[in-house]
Amino acid sequence: MASRRTPPLAILLPPSEGKAEGGKSPAWKATAGTFGKALGAQRAEVIAAIAKAKGGDAKLLGVNGQHLARAQQSNRALVGAPTLPAHARYTGVVWEHLSPSTLSAATSKKAADSIVVVSGLLGLAGFADPVPDYRLKMGASLAPLGKLSTWWRPSLSDALNAWADGRFVIDLLPGEHRAAWVPDASGFAGVVSVSFVEKSGKVAGHDAKAAKGMLARHLLESSGDVEKALKAWKHPRFTLTW
């Protein structure tokens, strides 16, 4: 009897507030990347709203001083901006512990096929998609659009559900990003929303970011049954629930 084919993965990750500076070609446009065709029009609306807000103030962007000045400058010059692949642009704790630059060639290729980032600016971005420098939280309220997680929800859900059809979806999103997606699991090979739990039984918060990156890497480097891979993951501090 033929063995059952393992479905492809879909790993959903947040972006990071911290981002690498600079970039190169291709210059960014709203229709760039894996989801550019599906979400380009919505991205253009977000860009127009940011432009009207002059790049955003401290309240919208959640930073001050030099970080605010950099964020405003980047947000005012998104179209045509130099880009980096998403995995190089995002530099936060999750991404540091995923450590994309140290993945093998085969695992990096798998990551490019499997990882999707849920973003306040982009809606969705693939692991290797070109991404400009920017700052905009999914939980921010941007006039005239309102709270971005709510505003993005219809179009983002349609695009993500279509892309994830036939895949086993691992949801590693925090609450504000998860709020932008309404899963339609009818076409998925499986879907789990993973929580990290302290040995005490308390659901972990910020401290689990490093573990989230480590788990994503473990899943990319594993083969075969996804739930077996989840059960095989070990951490000195956290256990998983889903």
Distance CA 228, CA 60 (A): 42
pLDDT, residue 206, reads 80
Region class of 62: left (phi > 0), else alpha (psi between -120 and 50), else beta:
left
Please give the torsion angle defined by the CA atoms of residues 155, 107, 18 and 194, in that order, rounded to the nearest 10 degrees.
60
- Yes or no: say if 10 and 114 are a contact pair by the CB < 8 Å rule: yes
Average of per-residue pLDDT values in the chain: 96
pLDDT tens for residues 197-237?
Answer: 998 899 988 889 999 999 999 999 999 899 999 999 999 99
Which residues make Cβ contacts (< 8 Å) with residue 121, sequence separation at least 6? 43, 46, 47, 50, 78, 134, 136
- pLDDT band, residue 4 (cuts 50/70/90): low
* pTM for the full predicted model: 0.96
Cis peptide before 183 (omega within 30 of 0): no
**Residue position matching structure tokens 């998860």:** 178
pLDDT tens for residues 21-74?
Answer: 999 999 999 999 999 999 999 999 999 999 999 999 999 999 999 999 999 999
Please give the torsion angle defined by the CA atoms of residues 182, 159, 170 and 202, in that order, rounded to the nearest 10 degrees.
-40
pLDDT tens for residues 150-166?
Answer: 999 999 999 999 999 99
Of all residues in the chain, what percent carry a pLDDT higher than 70?
A: 98
- Helix, strand, or coil here: 241? strand
Count of H-run helices and E-run strands, the chain: 10, 11
- Helix, strand, or coil here: 209? helix
- Average of per-residue pLDDT across 134-150: 98
Distance CA 24, CA 210 (A): 28
- Average of per-residue pLDDT across 139-145: 98
pLDDT, residue 1, reads 36
Q: Which helix (H) or strand (E) holds 171?
A: strand 168-171
- Average of per-residue pLDDT across 95-103: 98
- Yes or no: say if 95 and 119 are a contact pair by the CB < 8 Å rule: no
pLDDT, residue 199, reads 85
pLDDT, residue 150, reads 98
- Average of per-residue pLDDT across 136-148: 98
Distance CA 149, CA 141 (A): 9
- Residue 188 reports pLDDT greater than 60: yes
- Yes or no: say if 80 and 29 are a contact pair by the CB < 8 Å rule: yes
- Residue 2 reports pLDDT greater than 80: no
- pLDDT band, residue 3 (cuts 50/70/90): very low
Distance CA 88, CA 54 (A): 26
